Structure formats: structure tokens, C-alpha cells
Amino acid sequence: MNYLERRANDLRQYRPDTTAPSDLDAFWERTLKEASARPLAASRKQVDGLSPYTAVHKVTYQGFDDTPIHGWYLLPTFAGERKLPCAVIFHGYSGGKGNPEQHAHWLLQGYAVLAIDVRGQGGETGNLLSQSFGMTKGWLSQGLLDPDSHYYRAITVDALKAVEWAAQQPEIDPHRIVTAGGSQGGGLALMTAALSDLPWRTVADIPNMCHMDFGILNSTGSLTEAAEFVSRFPEHQEQVLKTLSYFDLLNLCERIRKPVFVSVGLKDTVCMPETIFAVYNRISAPKRLQVYPFNGHFTSGDHFAKVAAFLREDDDCVMMG
């Protein structure tokens, strides 16, 4: 066995202890109940696009609070009158929903697309979430001392409401909704799969929000903001770890019931392989893992072709392990 084989084998055996707080189920039951009671207050408006083969709509809706969440809703006009599958796309940390043409690869597969901004980051969407304690740079430390007011709670509900909106659209087959994204977006894709019955498939590329007690110590990504917060306020270390545990997929992934496709780079220092394998190894639903031994925080090659092949398979044909 060479070193690469040994490394992959060790990671496939990696099963750290979960860190779930005692009231995790009650927290999410309450959060989902509150979210279901909030109206979407949504709007969609068709705008000009670059291609006659795509109908482009600007969308806004309300998720966790009164913040208008902005998105693109894209329809392949060549697909005919049939009900369409829909990919709900979440972007990486500090990014945005991008331009409509960036999602053409999904449209060419015959999918509608709902691509949303994550609040307060690099898109059009603001952030009305309240803040009662100091923050370090970035967004992750907002509300870090209380899971009820933490940023991750807000963006998770925003993501769940995006899936809800997509399922209500007359062009969409509500039984064929895919949640997808990379990094932060991959984490949100898995969160929606864990907390909602609507996603039919999930594509989580190099996902964040995994095994965060490991990541806060070792990652070079967004969790450095939480680490810096603890460095400034060491007396709050335990509370910070507890808050993050409510949103750690290590504690939620066993709720996933529909097929998932996950990718990982073995040289990734942002979403480290230990964090992704820790979650993937606990998923009992049908699953597939794409390992890139020489990749950092990115996928490469014909990756989307692998994703497309996964989405074309029947439920009972999706590989386990």
C-alpha cells in the first residue's frame, strides 16, 4: 500500500465523536417551526438575458428575517412544457449568486436554476440580523455567543426557504430539486438535505460546516474568524464551540436520507479532508465520494460530468461507500 492509499484508507476510517448539544433536536424543531410560519413575501421579475435559450428572472424573498434575499431564477427555454428539475445553488464564502451565464452548465442539462446570495456577503443581499457583541472580521463571528442569533442559523433558514420557494414554482417538479454548492455552499447544500424533505439529490463540493471543532483549530478558511474571536475573548471558548455545534454537519448528517455526492481535496487547508470525511463517513443515505488527491480547495477535470452522471442515476443505482 502506497502513502496515498494509506492516507485515503485512514480517512475512510475516521469517525470522531459527535459534539451534539443535548437540546439539538429541540433547537432545530423550534427553528423549523418558526421558519415555516414566516411568509416568503417573494417576487420574481423577468429581465433581459444574454441568450434566447434562457429565461432570466430576478427573485427576492424573505428567509430568516426581513432581509430581502436576492437570487437568479433561470429557465431553459428549449426544455419544452414539461415540469423541470431545479438546482438550488449556494455559493462559497464571500461570494455571490454571480451572473446568470455562470450557471449555463446546469441549464444545458435541462435544469432550472435558483442561485441565491448568502446574506451580507458578495452579492446584492444585505443583512438585517442583529448583533449584540463584538465581532472579528467577516461574518462567521456574528452572534457567536448564542445559537439563536448566530449567523449560521440565519443563512441556514435562508437556504431552506430558497428550496421552499423553488418547490412552489409552476415550472418545477417539486420531487426533483437538487441542492448544490461548493465550500460554504456545499455546507448549506448538506444542511438543507439534513433539515428538509424537499431535496431529491445533494451535490456538496469541498463542503464547509463540517467537524468544526477540528476546523477551528486547523483550518485556514472562515473558521479562522471564530478562532480569532476566541483568541480575543478566551473566556468564551466553550460557548463558541457549543454555538458552532448546533450547525456542525457532524451532528446533523445522519438525518440525510436522499442520495448525496461529495467531493474532497486531500491538500485542502480550507475545508480539510478530515472534516469532510468525518461527516461523509456518518452519512447512511446512498452516497458517492469524489477524492482529488492533489487538489487544494477546488475541483478539477471533468468534475461536472461526474456530477451529471450521478444525477442521472436512479435512487437504487447510486453507489454506497
Residue 290 forms beta bridges with which residues?
263
> Measured at the alpha carbon of residue 154, what is the angle toward residues 16 and 247, in degrees to the nearest 5?
5
268 is catalytic: yes
Residues in the annotated binding site for substrate:
93
Provide CATH code, domain 3-317. 3.40.50.1820
pLDDT in tens, 255-308: 999 999 999 999 999 999 999 999 999 999 999 999 999 999 999 999 999 999
Determine the pLDDT at residue 132. 87
Q: What percent of the chain has pLDDT over 70?
A: 98
Label each residue of 256-294 as H, E or C.
Answer: CCCCEEEEEECCCCCCCHHHHHHHHCCCCCCEEEEEECC
Cβ-contact 297, 270 below 8 angstroms: yes
pLDDT at 116 over 90: yes
Determine the pLDDT at residue 314. 67
pLDDT (average), residues 5-15: 96
103 is catalytic: no
Catalytic residue among 183, 196, 222, 245: 183
pLDDT at 317 over 90: no
Task: Give residue limits of the domains in the chain.
Answer: 3-317
Residues in the annotated binding site:
93
Determine the pLDDT at residue 206. 98
Residue 180 forms beta bridges with which residues?
89, 203
Cβ-contact 59, 43 below 8 angstroms: yes
pLDDT (average), residues 124-133: 94
φ/ψ (deg, to 5) at 292: -115, 100
Element (H, E) at 113: strand 112-116
pLDDT in tens, 192-246: 999 999 999 999 999 999 999 999 999 999 999 999 999 999 999 999 999 999 9
pLDDT (average), residues 55-65: 98
User: Confidence band (pLDDT; 50, 70, 90) for 80?
Assistant: confident
Catalytic residue among 70, 103, 150, 297: 297
What integer best gives the mean pLDDT of the chain?
A: 96
183 is catalytic: yes
What's the CA gap between 252 and 263, in Å, rounded?
Answer: 18
User: Confidence band (pLDDT; 50, 70, 90) for 318?
Assistant: low
Determine the pLDDT at residue 82. 92
pLDDT at 155 over 80: yes
